[in-house]
Structure 1
């Protein structure tokens, strides 16, 4: 036996055969484990461990027998004869079908395992978006490829001539292709979206000039899945996407605008706007979002209801909404502290020079009004409104942790 083994072991074809049989044995073992897992809820709880050990021993013995036959060691008659019988059995249709299914299962699990090892960075950037997008596309494409190849191999194992079948399918596909132009358009559009990195998983986009908006949760060659802020999922075929507005591409901008009344001191208001902007820029909680120093544009509009002041912040993508909310909070407190009024809708009602006397009387049938139940309320037109009290507000420390989530796009909700 050792002499035969020393002669056969130096042959390259023996090593190739042993490697292939080991792969086939592992595929069949995994296929059997899958069947045992499916049977586990329907059998006694003590049987699954026993079945797993029996299946492992069976596969190991079968592989040793086949390896003995591949290495051609007739001096081990029991294993050699068993390996020859197993090899002949797997050359039949049923054996080939089992091998095809087992190999397809191995490939499917291998794709899932490799995809799970590809983890994008937690920080939002174009590389993480690209990785997340291509991960889903490549995984789905490989799985479709495994299914197609597995079906063709299974048909061949059952004796069906796959070549003639594919020729017939191609003729049928040509006829169907004229009616599937939209599907082809979807795939081509999706291909160029991925190739040019127009957007990806994690981006916030608006499709076709405001028809649909949301965050991209899934993207493949056929469809784009958007999640709106209210949780609605929009599934859009890529062929129907004509224009895309991306709110998270490379960098974003906060349009920090505030209105003041015409009675306000504009120079003081501009100083407050600049102080709030520089305060945000220097804050350790917000500094890392800024890409450039804030730009104070000044007075940008003299509107009917007030004067508009504006600053611009160039920031990291997807941080513009949180920064905008924090700016609104701080600038409101700062304007109150400076005594600068932010305009709001007002209405004036005039009743004449004298105070208004309102009498509340309890009505009763067949009785005169009770004087004790009357009340007099004097309303004066010159009553002054309450002033804003800012003593309990801290501009730099919000009472609650601000959310970093996004705001709804136009017409999203």
Structure 2
């Protein structure tokens, strides 16, 4: 029902098919209509009259009377006539007894005003519509028509089964292909780690090729996921269409077909459109990210950092984009289903006011997350310290940052709580080592051994790609009762300081043993005691 000016308009249906629109004066108060008849009551009464006529026409007595006509021709069971009552056209039906016509509806001034034609012309138009609709309703309920519709329903179900098997087979084939690509991606990731950890100077060009191969695999995986999603949507659409088509074949269930093919189809179409736009946007974002990497990732000095930054920004943009698309889709469905009346909007305003107070921290999180990405403070894969938490950034979006600690704990921090960040893996890292040697050691010899060990490690094909400066700082840091403390700084690639430090200590231990250099030992001198005063068991 809809209101147009001072008129209320609705549709009259028969067997789930819209026939025509009727109009009545607007009823301001449904609880107390007075002399006015609500439009939905009038429409319901007309539909009851039509269904009663169809039921009477299927009566064997009426069918037998309609089989014989004066000229021997087959006549219609139902005859729709027009008569004038109180200067208003009245549509009525004549069945087996012409002396007992059944009234269907009266064409009112409101009907003529809404359609813009005279009452007589409108009555003649409705007469033709009702005659055809009633004849089809009676014919569709005959035993022969029922058998034909059952055969059509069987064909629809069979066709849906065959089409479903085809779609399911394609879905399985794409699933197998996706598993193959995932195994290749896993193998490619292992190869990428080997290239990063043990890359030599003559083969420096192989790392970009491995990363480009990984990007290509990721795009193909996304394409496979997108195609499988399309096939699944197609499978759901096939069965909804088949069920609605079967219900539409039979007049008794035709109105359910319209219901099934309206709201569920709208929800399915909205879900499909939102998902399609979401995945299409993902592909576009990935293409832009790939172009960004191809333009900026030109050297290997910062290739890992730039790759991590692109990955971080891409993930955050995808999450924000997905939320926006599905929120807009929900609002669109509410509007199309007319589920947003004034009361719902008022409730939404109150809820929005309440959420505005509760979402203050959320807004702070989003703003701070945006600034983190904009200023490139850290990215996924960086080693950071935030307060008392130190670990690898495992996830970063506009709201939270997740850090995996050394003991495996996953710490989640809202971005609004991050006040200071110590990034331990930006551009380069540093391995800081203190070596304690005995006080009587030749300090110059010890410094030479340490320097030569560091330089030899920096020239090793396995480790030289990880070491930027083997002796950034080398010297005597302190002298204590335990001996001499020598400080060594080794500048490394990001996150490689721990690997380099462990390997250097192993090599230095062997070098000290070969040169006869002893490590520092704490010493303590006791005086004022002679040999007789010290008990034997105390020695």
Name the TM tier (shorter chain): 0.5 to 0.7
Is the CA contact (8 Å cut-off) linking 2:453 and 2:507 kept in structure 1? yes
Q: Paired residue for 1:148, among 302, 310, 327?
A: 327
Q: Secondary structure at the match of 1:342?
A: coil
Matches within 5 A, 1:21-100: 92-100=262-270
Q: TM-score scaled by structure 2? A: 0.46
Give the equivalent residue in structure 1 for 2:371: 192
Q: Paired residue for 1:103, among 255, 273, 276?
A: 273
Deviation at 1:102, TM superposition (A): 2.3
Q: Secondary structure at the match of 2:381?
A: coil
- Distance in 2 (alpha carbons) for counterparts of 1:312 and 1:333: 20
Report whether the alignment pairs 1:157 with 2:330: no
Matches within 5 A, 1:296-375: 296-344=473-521
- Distance in 2 (alpha carbons) for counterparts of 1:293 and 1:166: 67
1:3-57, CA deviations, whole angstroms, 9 ceiling, x for partnerless residues? xxxxxxxxxxxxxxxxxxxxxxxxxx9xx97xx99xxxxxxxxxxxxxx99x77x
Matches within 5 A, 1:158-307: 158-161=337-340, 169-170=348-349, 172-208=351-387, 211-292=388-469, 294-307=471-484
Q: Secondary structure at the match of 1:292?
A: strand
Sort the Cα spacing of 1:101 and 1:94 in 2 relative to 1 into closer, same or farther, 3 A: same
Deviation at 1:111, TM superposition (A): 5.3
Q: Secondary structure at the match of 2:468?
A: coil
1:345-403, CA deviations, whole angstroms, 9 ceiling, x for partnerless residues? 578999969xx999xxxxxxxxxxxxxxxxxxxxxx8xxxxxxxxxxxxxxxxxxxxxx
Sort the Cα spacing of 1:140 and 1:352 in 2 relative to 1 into closer, same or farther, 3 A: same
Deviation at 1:199, TM superposition (A): 0.3
Q: TM-score scaled by structure 1? A: 0.59
Sort the Cα spacing of 1:276 and 1:116 in 2 relative to 1 into closer, same or farther, 3 A: same
Q: Secondary structure at the match of 2:465?
A: helix
Q: Secondary structure at the match of 2:338?
A: coil
- Distance in 1 (alpha carbons) for counterparts of 2:408 and 2:491: 29
Sort the Cα spacing of 1:321 and 1:170 in 2 relative to 1 into closer, same or farther, 3 A: farther
Is the CA contact (8 Å cut-off) linking 1:253 and 1:312 kept in structure 2? yes
More divergent stretch after superposition (275-284 vs 110-119): 110-119
Sort the Cα spacing of 1:297 and 1:95 in 2 relative to 1 into closer, same or farther, 3 A: closer
Is the CA contact (8 Å cut-off) linking 1:214 and 1:226 kept in structure 2? yes
Greater relative contact order, per chain length (Cα 8 Å cut-off, separation 6+): 1
Is the CA contact (8 Å cut-off) linking 1:274 and 1:296 kept in structure 2? no
Contiguous gaps of at least 5 residues in structure 2: 1-163, 173-230, 242-257
- Distance in 1 (alpha carbons) for counterparts of 2:522 and 2:329: 70
Deviation at 1:109, TM superposition (A): 4.5
Give the length in aligned residue pairs. Answer: 291
Sort the Cα spacing of 1:167 and 1:328 in 2 relative to 1 into closer, same or farther, 3 A: farther
Deviation at 1:344, TM superposition (A): 4.0
1:102-144, CA deviations, whole angstroms, 9 ceiling, x for partnerless residues? 2223334445666788788999622111122112212211221
1:200-238, CA deviations, whole angstroms, 9 ceiling, x for partnerless residues? 100011102xx1111011001111011112211101111
Contiguous gaps of at least 5 residues in structure 1: 1-28, 38-51, 63-87, 359-380, 382-413
- Distance in 1 (alpha carbons) for counterparts of 2:340 and 2:402: 39
Q: Secondary structure at the match of 2:325?
A: helix
Is the CA contact (8 Å cut-off) linking 1:251 and 1:314 kept in structure 2? yes
Sort the Cα spacing of 1:113 and 1:163 in 2 relative to 1 into closer, same or farther, 3 A: farther
1:326-346, CA deviations, whole angstroms, 9 ceiling, x for partnerless residues? 111111111121111112457
Deviation at 1:318, TM superposition (A): 0.7
Is the CA contact (8 Å cut-off) linking 1:94 and 1:157 kept in structure 2? no
- Distance in 2 (alpha carbons) for counterparts of 1:165 and 1:337: 84
Q: Paired residue for 1:129, among 301, 308, 312?
A: 308
Q: Secondary structure at the match of 1:287?
A: coil
Give the equivalent residue in structure 2 for 1:411: none
- Distance in 2 (alpha carbons) for counterparts of 1:220 and 1:162: 35
Is the CA contact (8 Å cut-off) linking 2:483 and 2:522 kept in structure 1? no
RMSD of equivalent CA atoms: 4.4
- Distance in 1 (alpha carbons) for counterparts of 2:413 and 2:515: 50
Sort the Cα spacing of 1:250 and 1:263 in 2 relative to 1 into closer, same or farther, 3 A: same
Give the equivalent residue in structure 2 for 1:9: none
- State the structure with more CA Rg: 2
Is the CA contact (8 Å cut-off) linking 1:223 and 1:236 kept in structure 2? yes
Is the CA contact (8 Å cut-off) linking 2:470 and 2:489 kept in structure 1? no
Sort the Cα spacing of 1:107 and 1:285 in 2 relative to 1 into closer, same or farther, 3 A: same
Is the CA contact (8 Å cut-off) linking 1:156 and 1:162 kept in structure 2? no
1:128-187, CA deviations, whole angstroms, 9 ceiling, x for partnerless residues? 111221122122112212221221122122122389856753553234322332222111
